[in-house]
A and B are shown apart, each in its own frame.
Chain A
């Protein structure tokens, strides 16, 4: 239990540090690297909860595929340091308020729920733990949302191709 708790706090700290540094870094590549740290730390948290498949997919899809594309595009554009415009005071103040409100909302939800899994030493509901159960769930109960999502992604891909081709012709 204590070892789990220790690992949890290490991963949680890592993901928070990554998230903060993602915002504070001046260079796009450093920001992207911070985001990778967040993704991998989250995968570690999933693993801690016993959701092995979700953890692996988190690293493969988010840590690997998506972030590689981010880094690739930043490299391809050879983007330099960010240029900071005069920060808007109006956006700053309500932003902090909204962030605090969101934090309170999430904390309240977590505190109120008793059935949901806790990351510390807890486990996810059985349906999420093994690959077989997860896939059974996806392809029976949630088959329509699943297929709809894949259509959505397909449409996004087609949209990207159409946009890219319009420029050529």
Chain B
């Protein structure tokens, strides 16, 4: 038994990491729906979910149970195989793409084995992500086609056209970053941003740093990525006011939930990519000499925890009075642990993931913010925007970046 374990330790570690990451991603997904509903609600002067659990915190669980126990009818005349394949494809591909994303610079040492914060680190990491994105169209297109219904078919057609159009701009907009990093590997792309001017971390990030700041590239990438994930203002494939629910109209119960989870997982992937490609990944925005920034996680966790405790004491329901202070207590405790001098190495280790998570959350908030703010594009506007503005701008970005990279390499 021990022999077997030690012989296959790499595989076992990877399997555990996959399970752990799946659990984390699915939980984050669930709470992303809660976060989105809360933020949009507050933007529209509503309360959002607040009945199930304190502040509606158990709402994702209730939704999940509802999805599981709903009746799951298969409409008449559907193409059975493709109809079942489509949600599997959508969810499977979306979850796979998380596997190549590195979440931190340093490995954790567990029982003498270095456990890195990624599942796979291929030298063509970014290309793998684009390959998965390229296949992601099928989930939506096949769902629309196989449902044997006019609204899903229209939604599927729209989404295929949209995703093909925006994939070009998406791919071209990162070429600038690739030229500057000289690599497809996501870890190396982050490391290439670690040499800022005057030691100020933020100036090393691709969006601000030379030879050619990728501001144009970032905006093209982010807009195209929103279109690829079918989110507002590019949610024409599921435009509920015209197409009922677009490609997933005929799906119910957990098959619908699979599309839902796939969409939110792609949102997370895109946020990770934005942070890694343009905003320095796990690099701190401050000068490296400012060691006091190492206490920022504690500085954030402790007041947040205290606020949750305070809020919990005043909460209306008994359940909330019990649960919220416990959550706040855990947050305060985490913050306090990071302050203990003997555990300084934990604090040092946590810096990378802390900044990366902060950036990812910021982009997720921007996603939700846009949903709360922008109206949907009209179809012809969507097409002309993609082909006549995004594509030329991203090509110009490639040409300019190539020019400046060449200029710097040959003085």
State the A residues within 8 Å of B (CB).
27, 29-30, 33, 36, 40, 43, 52-53, 56-57, 59-60, 63-65, 68-69, 71-72, 75-76, 78, 130-131
B225 within 8 A of A: no
Tell me whether B157 and A33 are in contact (CB under 8 A).
no
Q: Evaluate whether A68 and B134 lie within 8 angstroms (CB atoms) in the complex, with A56-B124, A75-B153 already known.
A: yes
Considering the complex, which residues of chain B in the window 93-129 have a beta carbon less than 8 Å from any beta carbon of chain A? 122-124, 127-128
Among B137-145, B204-212, B236-244, B306-314, the one that faces the other chain is B137-145
The CA of A40 and the CA of B132, in the complex, are separated in Å by: 11
Considering the complex, which residues of chain B in the window 158-188 have a beta carbon less than 8 Å from any beta carbon of chain A? 160-161, 163-164, 167, 184
Contact partner of B131 (CB less than 8 A), chosen from A33, A36, A64, A76, is: A64
Closest B residue to A69 by CB, please name it. B164
Measured between beta carbons, the chain A residues less than 8 angstroms from B156 are: 75
Measured between beta carbons, the chain B residues less than 8 angstroms from A29 are: 79, 82, 142, 145
Interface of B is mostly: helix
The CA of A36 and the CA of B163, in the complex, are separated in Å by: 18
Q: Evaluate whether A75 and B131 lie within 8 angstroms (CB atoms) in the complex, with A29-B82, A52-B123 already known.
A: no
Measured between beta carbons, the chain A residues less than 8 angstroms from B167 are: 64-65
Tell me whether B142 and A71 are in contact (CB under 8 A).
yes
The CA of A56 and the CA of B124, in the complex, are separated in Å by: 8
Measured between beta carbons, the chain A residues less than 8 angstroms from B135 are: 40, 59, 63-64
Q: Smallest distance from the beta carbon of B83 to chain A beta carbons, Å?
A: 11
Q: Evaluate whether A60 and B141 lie within 8 angstroms (CB atoms) in the complex, with A72-B157, A72-B161, A130-B123 already known.
A: no
Closest A residue to B163 by CB, please name it. A68
Tell me whether A64 and B160 are in contact (CB under 8 A).
no
Q: Smallest distance from the beta carbon of B30 to chain A beta carbons, Å?
A: 30
Contact partner of A33 (CB less than 8 A), chosen from B82, B124, B128, is: B82
Closest A residue to B144 by CB, please name it. A75
B23 within 8 A of A: no
Tell me whether A63 and B134 are in contact (CB under 8 A).
yes
Tell me whether B141 and A75 are in contact (CB under 8 A).
yes
Tell me whether B123 and A68 are in contact (CB under 8 A).
no
B130 within 8 A of A: yes
The 10 closest A-B pairs by CB, nearest first: A64-B134, A56-B127, A59-B131, A72-B160, A52-B124, A60-B134, A75-B145, A68-B137, A60-B131, A56-B131
Q: Evaluate whether A71 and B141 lie within 8 angstroms (CB atoms) in the complex, with A59-B135, A64-B134, A64-B135 already known.
A: yes
Tell me whether A52 and B122 are in contact (CB under 8 A).
yes
Contact partner of A65 (CB less than 8 A), chosen from B134, B138, B153, is: B134
A-B contact pairs, 6 of them (CB 8 A): A29-B79, A30-B82, A71-B141, A72-B164, A75-B153, A75-B156
Closest A residue to B156 by CB, please name it. A75
Measured between beta carbons, the chain A residues less than 8 angstroms from B145 are: 29, 71, 75
